[in-house]
Amino acid sequence: MRLVFAIVRDSDASALLDAFAERHIGATRLASTGGFLREGNTTFLIGVEDERVQEVIGIIAECCPRRVEASPQFTPGMGQMPSAGVPVEVEAGGAIVFVTEVEDFIRI
């Protein structure tokens, strides 16, 4: 058994949860924050059999694509206030995924 941690953008979380449900994959959804753009994230905890790990990673990749977005420029040392400059394109989206072995799984 494996435990998959997936950290995704909030905007991708609902579609990902729906995709897990369609394939009968249980997932626990937790609100989280962080990242370069300081936007909300969602962390999923997914317990699956070893042979389903690649399936779970594929679903995450399908529902959480990386994309290019415009972001305001920040002036260092000025309290992170947006400058009057042209927005900068940054790569956003995608997911951070960790896979660990699970010694015991108990459902109570």
Q: pTM value?
A: 0.75
List pLDDT tens digits, range 44-53. 999 999 999 9
Fold that domain 2-101 belongs to in CATH: Alpha-Beta Plaits (3.30.70)
d(CA 105, CA 47): 8
List pLDDT tens digits, range 5-35. 999 989 899 999 999 999 999 999 998 877 6
